[in-house]
Structure 1
Amino acid sequence: MAVPDSRPQRIFVLAYDPDKGGVGLGTNLGAMLRAAALADLYRGGHLTDACGRVAIDVRHPCHDPVLDALLEEIAGSKPHTWQSWIGHRQGTTVRAVRQQLSAGGWVHLQPRKILGLFPTTRVPLRDPRVRTELLDLVNAALHQPVGSIDSADAALVAIVAAGDLTLVLDRGTRRANKQRIQELTKLSGPIGPALRKSIQAAAVGEV
């Protein structure tokens, strides 16, 4: 089965914990998905950096509902920093990406209730090999010559590292590849540093 094309969908699949049968609590999923959507828009030439703030460079349809929705948000708002956009509407983005993955046949959506009261949705993968293939992409980006690495794969690594997704890059791997991760983060633009700042701000309760 082919892997999803978009960075948000790929991040969602990478965040899936096979041992738990879903994305674990405490994962910075919403922030990473927002960062991944911004990364796709930036890479696609829709967005540019204007002195640390997000600006629309070229506005045309992305043919992806998650990316189009974010582009519409940005177009209808005053300028904000990358960090600020990562912090907006994370729950909405999580649900939209989850629905995309379901429509594409990558996951099941299984509504249930915790303790018979609180509604939630399990999101098991249909084919674990999709996640394995994405892990291989991350590993390749850490070991291939930097000049041969696509900016999309660089962004994937930058987001996983900044989002502290230890299921993909544990602390030992990050220490061993610190310089390469820094190179890939630089290659992917402003997204990685903004994601790290957004997560740090949320941890201390900043708005």
Structure 2
Amino acid sequence: MTTVSDLALLTLDPATGTRRLGSYGEIMLGGAALNDLLLAGRLEVTGEGKKARVLVVDQTPVGTAYLDQALARLARGRKPRRASDAVTRLGKKLPRAAYEALAAEGLLEARPAKVLGLFPTTRYSVRPAARRDELADGVRAVLLGEREPDERLGALGALLGAGGQVKRVVPKGRRREAAKRAKALTEGVWASEAVRAAVKASEDAVMIAVMAATAASTAGGAT
């Protein structure tokens, strides 16, 4: 399992089979892909904050199709990219690829459906082998301070926070507290430099996307 596939599972509604990644799904999964590729030694992050840059240091495939495709996209141009730009590029079309891969692995069962009875889409049933409930329980415990984070669960909790999606695993009454803890996870000593870099880049990319959407809305309202 990759960080990408874990995050895709967590943001799938097991009751309806609907993907619930939210408005910033590509960015969230792009951050997960950045995490996976950093840990695999394919990428490197230099600098911090706004000066952070992501560089491809090894183009050797990792053996997971959607990660290899994301790596190839990032490698085009062969120049360091701003971390937030790297996340955006890595996440392009990644949600669909991640869910299709989970179905191909037998962890999800895909079924055709229609939105509003008109528009074709795909719903997914979670199979027991995916162990989604176990994964969600672990991330929830980290976000509620009931369990110490490790590199897998801590990264997932922080990425859910970056995308505003802690609600996928945390009950309504405790989401504000979980969101604060998700934010704090980016500063924790539990995480490697790679994990912290991936989460920070995701937060930056979401912030940029929100600012761009707000600016577009304001401009549209002014015309």
Query: Aligning the two structures, in what range does the TM-score lie when normalised by the shorter sequence?
Result: 0.7 to 0.9
Distance 1:129 1:64 in 2: 17
Per-residue deviation, residues 141-160 of structure 1 (Å, max 9, x unmatched): 44334xxx432322111101
1:138-177 correspondence runs (5 A): 138-141=139-142, 142-145=145-148, 149-165=149-165, 166-169=167-170, 173=174, 175-176=176-177
Are residues 180 and 25 of structure 1, via their aligned partners in 2, closer, same or farther at CA, if it must alter by over 3 Å? closer
1:106 Cα shift? Answer: 1.3
Alignment of 1:108-119 (within 5 A): 108-115=109-116, 117-119=118-120
Matches within 5 A, 1:47-126: 47-51=43-47, 52-77=52-77, 78-88=79-89, 90=91, 92-115=93-116, 117-126=118-127
Question: Once structures 1 and 2 are overlaid, which stretch shifts more, 188-197 or 84-93?
Answer: 84-93
| Alpha-carbon spacing, 1:184–1:25, altered in 2? closer, same or farther (3 Å) | closer
- Shift in Å at residue 42 of structure 1? 1.2
Q: How many residues align?
A: 200
Compute the displacement of 1:92 (Å): 1.8
Structure 2 contact 53–81 (Cα < 8 Å) conserved: yes
> Which residues of structure 1 form unaligned runs of 5+?
none
| CA-CA distance at 1:33 after TM superposition | 1.2
Q: Aligned to 1:192, what secondary structure does the other structure show?
A: helix
CA distance in 2, matches of 1:25, 1:138: 16
Looking at structure 1, the residues matched to 72 and 160 of structure 2 have their Cα atoms a distance apart, in angstroms, of 26
Whole-Å Cα distance in 1 between the matches of residues 87 and 172 of structure 2? 24
Kindly provide the CA deviation profile for residues 83-115 of structure 1, in whole angstroms up to 9, marking residues without a partner as x: 112223645211211111011111122233435
The runs of 5 or more residues in structure 2 that have no matched partner are 217-223
Normalising to structure 2: TM-score of the pair? Answer: 0.76
C-alpha spacing 1:13/1:27, structure 2 compared with 1 (3 Å) = farther
Larger Rg: 2
Distance 1:172 1:192, change over 3 A: farther
TM-score (norm 1): 0.81
Give the equivalent residue in structure 1 for 2:204. 197
1:62 match: secondary structure: coil
Q: What is the Cα-based RMSD across aligned positions, in Å?
A: 2.8
Residue 8 of structure 1 and its aligned partner are, at CA, apart by: 0.7
Q: Does the Cα contact within 8 Å between 1:47 and 1:55 map onto a contact in 2?
A: yes
